[in-house]
A and B are shown apart, each in its own frame.
Chain A
Amino acid sequence: MKLAYWMYAGPAHIGTLRIATSFRDIHAIMHAPLGDDYFNVMRSMLERKRDFTPVTASVVDRHVLARGSQEKVIHNIHRKDKEESPSLIILTPTCTSSILQEDLQNFVNRAAQDCNADVILADVNHYRVNEMQAADKTLEQIIKFYLQKAKKNNLLDIEKTDLASVNIIGPCNLSFHHQHDLAELRRLLQDLNIRVNQIIPEGASVDNIKNLPKAWFNIIPYREVGRASAEFLLQEFNMPYTTISPIGVVETSKFIRQLEQILNQLGHVCDFTKYIEVQTRFVSQSAWFSRSIDCQNLAGKTAVVFGDATHAAALTKILVKEMGVEVLIAGTYCKGEEEWFEQEVGSYAKQLLFTDDHHLVGDLIAKLEPSAIFGTQMERHIGKRLNIPCGVISAPVHIQNFPLSYRPFLGYEGSNQIADLIYNSFTLGMEDHLLELFGGHDTKDVISNTLSSHESIAWDNNANDELKKIPGFVRGKVKRNIEKFAKTKGLNTITMEVMYAAKEEQSGNY
């Protein structure tokens, strides 16, 4: 037993459901007790989906406990087959069903006999894999199933498209900014004159799977989901796949170089040098931002990065290589990615951290006191408690991380977004610090109702000069605080002495 308050990665069935519900025509049936269909709430609330989530439960209750599911699961599969006519029904085991040890495969076999839909059992073990591993596995399982089926029926089309084309594999429901990333990726590929053959699973039909081998190669934007499928397609159809996530200017150009290299190997001669140069210099603002004096302010600032492997590694590289920020800790909660992570960012971060214990992450942040944190919602809350600004860069996330506006993390526009995120986190931190130094955010007891004070208090020259040294964005607040102090003391002129006395009194409050 483990005492736990919070977890970074969810249980296995969530991963399976994220994949299933990303397809257009899959219905998932969970073998689970009442209340375990919480996934439907998350999809409906976080993603603001307009359609009903195609997930139902075959409810495990007392009767099932006593006598087994018997015909119940089969009946539910048949029922959904008729009601929703999906192409595929995935029976999804949960923690409950994995200890009941019913022969779910048998139910699937029997139900499949007179169903229009295909029926499969998601091959995930609750106690062995987490959400992301399960998503990766389920996607591979579905792809395998349909490619084998097509092969059996002689429907497999392995002839490559005339023009260079790719599959994008991995983006699925409840991923971090994946809709925007997909749009950005499509735009990038269009610029490079590369066709998108299939996107799997987001918005796809299982019928599309048989066309996967037509693409020249595969793009895996995120490390966590899609690699197993890409590996399978490499083994089976000799399809190469990308290994670089195009997050940040440097990585995006490396990614484009990788595309170029794969295309050249496949006999399609191309050179994207010019494109990378134009994009980097003129389309993306972040390379210029790195040179600008704004960014010089960030030099030597410290940060802690924590999240899923893809985003934490990418952010670490951006912070160190593109912004000159010192990363004290780079860490991930993704099990099994330790070796890759170390290889990627081992030389950039002072220290690496592999854990899924948020207390440990919190304690380290408290000890190191970085100027900013880049992490998940948990790190954001740790930051709140410690008064350290935090940019959210990775799941698990809240509804505010499903923005309506265009917020990709990938590609050139993504690099602009990330630069804003980073810069805003640090300035906010500075502002906060200055406010604290000069009297805090407290506006509860204003000295007058109007913003422009009529009976003005005079500032002598020295004090006025001193006031001008205070950064513009907090100057007004500081001025009001000092005037308030002067009023309570019955003073009409503010001198340097009054200023210092005001500051002293206010800092005494902390």
Chain B
Amino acid sequence: MSIQSTEINKPLSFECETGNYHTFCPISCVSWLYQKIEDSFFLVIGTKTCGYFLQNALGVMIFAEPRYAMAELEEADISAHLNDYAELKRLCQVIQKDRNPSVIFWIGTCTTEIIKMDLEGIAPKLEAELGIPIIVARANGLDYAFTQGEDTVLAALAQSCHSRVEKLKSQSSTNSDSRLILFGSIPDPIVKELTIELEEYGVKIGGWLPGKRYTELPQLADGDFVCGIHPYLSRTATTLMRRRKCRLIGAPFPIGPDGTKAWIEKICSVLNLSSVGLTEKEAKVWKSLKPLTDKLKDKSVFFMGDNLLEISLARFLIRCGMIVYEIGIPYLDKRYQAAELALLEKTCLEQGQFIPMIVEKPDNYNQIDRIKDLQPDLVITGMANANPLEARGLRTKWSVEFTFAHVHGFKNAHNILELISRPLRYLPKLEDMNQLEYATN
């Protein structure tokens, strides 16, 4: 089922709706960041609402003595009867005594924004007094959605990376001395896999932001190359460019074999390295994916949008032969995602598919209307809408899983397709019951 050729050549088009959509609060980033940065402690300074969200969203993790906690604000904190500085000092001393971390992250929330708690001002003073680095990130729901929480934390981390002092500093040699730093938090096995992929083409990686430990943060120097691995790290990219004078390699993201190939290719081309053999490597991965992609061909997908991975995932799925009706996305940085958007456009053209509408700040109510009209084979959505959509005979995939699953690099492309295929493959066999809709209203 392909669409008329007149529509195929339509350029990328962007819409912006009301922003009334469901997503996770950005403070959820502590759940994967505390696991990634092993010597850290995350203190979320907020209210019971924030705590309740973390407790319920992160389920079992909460029982495993996580290295994060709430600094729960009480009425006296809000009305400034208590002194923020003294209160934070007291809590951080407890954390230091009980957990002895190498760094404490303060996660600012909506409440600290509204009452204008000067976290950035208090942190350096307490840092000196307690002798422990304190990094402030404002991951609040007023400004950001879900995965953007990691962006705010990494942007703050980027500023605290030490500067590397060059041994021989001549103007002409900056190029040869500059290193490549990759940014974005991913589990260590994937770090290894991506490192090996790049090393095969002679790319040397000068460090990862973040590393396994806070004490292993990469050192940065003017002119270093940096490249992102997640589509939602635009603030971090901006910080690295503007504050740290790094050079950003704008590439598509290593999600799917097509994305991974384009990512390596772009890095190699910027570093003047040959990427011979990459096309064959990609082809091999596609071949191994064929049993999965065969079943997905011509199936349609609708992204409601909640985690900013949507453009990359849609691009990969179109390459797999699927039809994407709509790409909802909380926020789109057209500059940071430029290469990804170009690859999306190119993919649509090569696949003979129309270019899906990209809807920024979507409105879930309107989207559900459109879903009812379009009847896509699969809706990628949050858990608030999944069961009600299933009850109406639609198949859904929880978008959150893409954030927690291993999706980067050649080796993990099949994970994405497994996630996508599962709801399509396991259709309940209830023909005998002569009823596939369960909605009650």
Chain A interface residues toward B at CB < 8 A: 1-7, 10-11, 13-14, 32-38, 40-42, 44-45, 48-53, 56-57, 59-62, 65, 83, 94-96, 99-100, 126-128, 130, 378, 381, 384, 398
Max chain B C-beta neighbours (<10 A), residue from A37, A56, A83, A100: A37
Residues of B within 8 A of A53 (CB): 384, 388
Closest approach, in angstroms, between the C-beta of B334 and any C-beta of chain A? Answer: 20
Does residue B277 face the partner (Cβ distance < 8 Å to A)? no
Q: Which residue in A4, A38, A60, A128 is a CB contact (below 8 Å) of B56?
A: A38
A5→B62 contact, CB < 8 A: yes
Give the chain A neighbours of B428 by CB distance below 8 A.
Answer: none
Given contacts A59-B19, A99-B115, contact A34 B55 (CB under 8 A): no
B contact residues around A45 at 8 Å (CB): 383, 387
Residues of B within 8 A of A34 (CB): 19, 23, 25, 141-142, 144-145
Starting from the known contacts A34-B25, A37-B22, A62-B142, 11 additional A-B residue pairs (CB-CB under 8 Å) come to A3-B95, A4-B71, A6-B62, A7-B48, A7-B52, A51-B439, A57-B20, A60-B110, A62-B143, A126-B49, A127-B74
**In the bound complex, do residue A38 and residue B25 qualify as a contact, i.e. CB atoms below 8 Å apart?**
yes
The 0/1 profile, CB within 8 Å of A marked 1, for residues 353-367 of chain B is 000000000000100
23 chain-A/chain-B pairs, Cβ below 8 angstroms: A1-B88, A2-B70, A3-B71, A4-B69, A4-B70, A6-B55, A7-B48, A34-B19, A34-B25, A35-B145, A36-B53, A37-B384, A38-B57, A40-B22, A41-B56, A44-B387, A45-B383, A51-B439, A56-B20, A65-B113, A100-B114, A127-B78, A381-B63
Q: Which residues of A contact B77 (CB under 8 A)?
A: 1
Q: Known contacts A33-B140, A35-B53, A51-B388; decide if A3 and B91 are in contact (CB<8 Å).
A: yes
B216 within 8 A of A: no
Nearest B residue (CB) for A95:
B47
Chain B residues with CB under 8 A of A50: 387-388, 391, 438-440
**B69 CB contacts on chain A under 8 angstroms:** 3-5
- Contact for B23 among A35, A65, A127, CB less than 8 A: A35
Point out the residues of chain B lying under 8 angstroms from A127, CB to CB.
74-75, 78
Give A398 to B59 CA distance when docked, in angstroms. 8
Among B269-311, those with CB < 8 Å from A are none
Q: A6-B62, A35-B145, A127-B78 are in contact. Are A61 and B48 (CB under 8 A)?
A: no
B214 within 8 A of partner (CB): no
State the Cβ distance, B363 to closest chain A Cβ, in Å.
Answer: 10
Decide if A44 touches B384 in the complex (CB within 8 Å). yes
Beta-carbon contact of B111 and A36 below 8 Å: no
CA distance A9 to B365 in the complex (A): 30
On chain A, the residues within 8 Å of B144 by CB distance are 34
Q: Which residue of A lies closest to B382 (CB)?
A: A41
The residue on B at minimum CB distance from A47 is B387
Task: Across the interface, name the chain A residue whose C-beta is closest to B26.
Answer: A35
Q: Which residues on B sit within 8 Å (CB–CB) of A35?
A: 23-26, 53, 141, 145-146
- A1 partner, pick from B49, B59, B73, beta carbons under 8 A: B73
Set of chain A residues within 8 Å of B51, measured between Cβ atoms: 4, 6-7
Most buried by B among A7, A13, A35, A127: A35
A273 vs B71: C-alpha distance when bound (angstroms) = 55
**Cα distance A32–B25 in the bound complex, in angstroms:** 11
- The answer for the CA separation of A462 and B95 in the assembled complex, in Å, is 58
Known interface pairs A35-B24, A52-B368. Does A1 touch B82 (Cβ–Cβ under 8 Å)?
A: yes
Let me know if B20 and A40 touch, CB within 8 A: no
Closest to A384 in B: B63
| Contact status B143-A96, CB under 8 Å | no
Chain A: CB-nearest residue to B22 = A37
Are A44 and B386 in touch, CB under 8 angstroms? Answer: yes
In the complex, the number of residue pairs spanning A and B with C-beta atoms less than 8 Å apart equals: 158
At the interface, yes or no: B441 with Cβ under 8 Å from chain A?
Answer: yes
CB distance from A499 to the nearest CB of B (A): 39
Asked if B114 and A11 sit within 8 Å, CB to CB, the answer is no
Do B25 and A2 touch across chains, with their CB atoms under 8 A apart?
A: no
For the complex of A and B, 3 pairs with smallest distance between CB atoms: A35-B25, A33-B141, A40-B384
A1 / chain B contacts, CB cutoff of 8 Å: 45, 71-74, 77, 82, 87-88, 90-91
Residues of B close to A41: CB separation below 8 A: 22, 56-57, 382-384
- Does the CB pair A61–B87 fall under 8 Å? no
CB distance from B367 to the nearest CB of A (A): 12
Residues of B within 8 A of A11 (CB): 47-49, 52
CB B370 to nearest CB in A, in angstroms, measures 14
B391-414 residues with Cβ-Cβ distance < 8 A to A are 391
Q: Which residues of B contact A99 (CB under 8 A)?
A: 78, 111, 114-115
Whole-angstrom distance between the Cβ of A379 and the nearest chain B Cβ: 11
Q: Which residues of A contact B62 (CB under 8 A)?
A: 5-6
Counting CB contacts under 8 A, is B12 at the interface?
no
Q: How far is the CB of B384 from chain A (nearest CB, A)?
A: 4
* Chain A residues within an 8 Å CB radius of B94: 3
Tell me the minimal C-beta distance from A15 to chain B in angstroms.
11
At the interface, yes or no: B385 with Cβ under 8 Å from chain A? yes
Cβ of A59: which chain B residues have Cβ within 8 Å of it?
19-20
Contact B22 A96 (CB under 8 A): no
Q: How far is the CA of A1 from the CA of B20 in the complex (A)?
A: 32
B111 touches A96 (CB 8 A): yes
Complex contact B387–A49 (CB within 8 A): yes
Residues in B whose Cβ lies below 8 Å from that of A398: 59
B113: nearest chain-A partner, CB-CB: A65
- Report how far A2 CA is from B47 CA in the complex, Å: 10
Complex Cα spacing A48 to B82, Å: 43
Tell me the smallest distance from the CB of B429 to a CB of chain A, in Å.
19
CA distance A98 to B222 in the complex (A): 46
Set B47, B57, B91, B143: member contacting A61, Cβ < 8 A: B143
